[in-house]
Amino acid sequence: MKRFRRLAILIFLMTAFHLLVAAGALADQVSLKNGDRLSGTIVKSDGKTVVLHTDYAGDLSLKWDAVAGIQSSEDLHVQLPDGKTVSGQVTTSDGKLEIATRSGGTVEASVAEVKGLRNSAEETAYEKALHPGLLQGWKTGLNLGFALTGGNSETENLSIGFIGTRQTTNDKLGLYENTVYATNNAPGASPSTTANTAGGGARYDHDLTPKVFGFVAADFFADALQSLNLRSVFGGGAGYHAIKSDTTTLDFLGGLNYTRESYTAFSRNFAALTLGEELMHKLGKSTVLNEQLSLFPNLNSLGDYRGTFIFATVTKLNNHLGWQNSFNDVYVTNPPAGKRQNDVILTTGLNVSFGQ
């Protein structure tokens, strides 16, 4: 009986040992230049870092410069310098990636030139990001501001703004709407309505190259105190990504537009240029700054133009709430007689964000 127990224990230990060895063999391996060897699942790489998922420490982000070699037990999808993607088990040798494809051939690529690699789950997510459905991938925000006074002054102020952005790898669709309404309800106050503007529009950008993009846009604006019933602007053109990173983007735009303005006393239609720049910069982890400057020179009446300047910040309070401040300045060289050329709008209030 004792011999049988000893034999059973020996068989159990040998089986456990082989299972551990097999589990280690099936895991992806990452060798570091300092001699360490890590096991886990290679998730992805952007050419600068490698993300390795481990059971003992979660996701580890390793610098490529510190990696001596990798060996995958499962297929990885490797994005080559020419833009093509090949898949297979991957090993490294002498600064090169060797991809053993399922067709039996081996593809080699310099580690320094590979644009990225992904496991099957990451590749599926990447493909979906390239071609999402029209209702997928939206990031939206709603800005609300309200003020009310009573007693010696009786005023009401309301501001509402909406912005929505759907961005993929190669294009971007943006929507916006804003309304400002204010009244002075004191007896005998003139004018009783002190602000009444509404605007909205959409723009679609598509990257033609990593730096150059084309765009089409439609914008609408009304200002009751300037006697502007509706300004409709339809245009398009090209833009240049001067800076494009996770923390800062700077774009320059140029094109043509057709503008129709309907005032209470008259209407006019004309062609105009579209010239502008747009800046987005993240200040730390919680605040985003946006700035836009646009000029629209009238081609039918040289010397006349319209200009807009926007400066806005949103400070994140939690995942869905933030505090927004916005300054808008709209300048028109030739408004109706008796109306001012400049309209300034300053709003502040709560920002509610939705989406990813």
What is the per-residue pLDDT across 112-133, written as a single tens digit (0 to 9) for each?
A: 777 888 888 888 877 777 667 6
341 and 209 in a single domain? The answer is yes
Q: Is 249 exposed, middle or buried (0-12, 13-18, 19+ CB in 10 A)?
A: middle
- Which of 106, 130, 154 is at the close of a domain? 130
Asked whether the beta carbons of 239 and 250 are under 8 A apart, the reply is: no
Gap between the Cα atoms of 139 and 191, Å rounded:
39
User: What is the three-class DSSP state of 10?
Assistant: helix
Q: Which of 105, 7, 117 is nearest to 52 (CA)?
A: 117
**0.85 exceeded by pTM:** no
Do 180 and 323 belong to one domain? yes
Indicate the number of domains in the chain: 2
Mean predicted confidence (pLDDT) in 280-309: 94
The DSSP result for 97-117, as a single string, is: EEEE-TTS-EEEEETTT--EE
Question: Final residue of a domain: which of 74, 98, 130?
Answer: 130
Q: Give a yes or no: residue 3 inside a domain.
A: no
Same domain, 158 and 291: yes
> What DSSP character marks residue 335?
P
Is 210 a member of any domain?
A: yes
Length of the chain: 356
Show the domain range for 112: 26-130
Assess whether 303 and 162 both reside in one domain.
Answer: yes
Do the domain assignments include residue 93? yes
In a domain, 21, yes or no: no
Do 108 and 146 lie in a common domain?
no
In a domain, 17, yes or no: no
End position of a domain, from candidates 95, 130, 165: 130
At position 13, the amino acid (one-letter code) is: L
142 shares a domain with 111:
no
Using the predicted structure, report yes or no on whether residue 242 has a pLDDT greater than 50. yes
**Could you give the count of Cα atoms lying within 13 Å of 180 in the half-sphere of its Cβ?**
18
Residues 166, 119 share a domain? no
Asked if residue 323 belongs to a domain, the reply is yes
Q: Are residues 108 and 145 in the same domain?
A: no
Q: Which among 189, 282, 56, 145 is positioned nearest to 41, based on CA atoms?
A: 56
- In a domain, residue 328? The reply is yes
Q: What is the mean pLDDT of the chain?
A: 85
Say yes or no: 269 and 210 in one domain: yes
- pLDDT, residue 3, reads 58
Reply yes or no on whether the pLDDT at 271 is more than 70: yes
51, 64 in Cβ contact below 8 A?
Answer: no
CB 311 within 8 A of CB 281: no
Residue 317 belongs to some domain of the structure: yes
Average pLDDT for 65-77? 86
Q: ∠ CA 257-272-281 to the nearest 5 degrees?
A: 70
Cβ contact 234:222 at 8 Å = no
Sorting pLDDT into bands at 50, 70 and 90, what band is 268? very high
Q: Is the peptide bond before 335 cis (omega within 30 degrees of 0)?
A: no
User: In terms of domains, do 159 and 119 share one?
Assistant: no
Q: With residue 129 as reference, give the H or E element that holds it.
A: helix 120-130
- The predicted pLDDT at position 264 comes to 93
CATH of the domain at 238: 2.40.160.40
193 and 260, same structural domain? yes
141 DSSP β-pair partners:
163, 353
Instruction: Say whether both 143 and 115 belong to one domain.
Output: no
Q: What is the dihedral of CA 239, 245, 250, 256, to 10 degrees?
A: 20
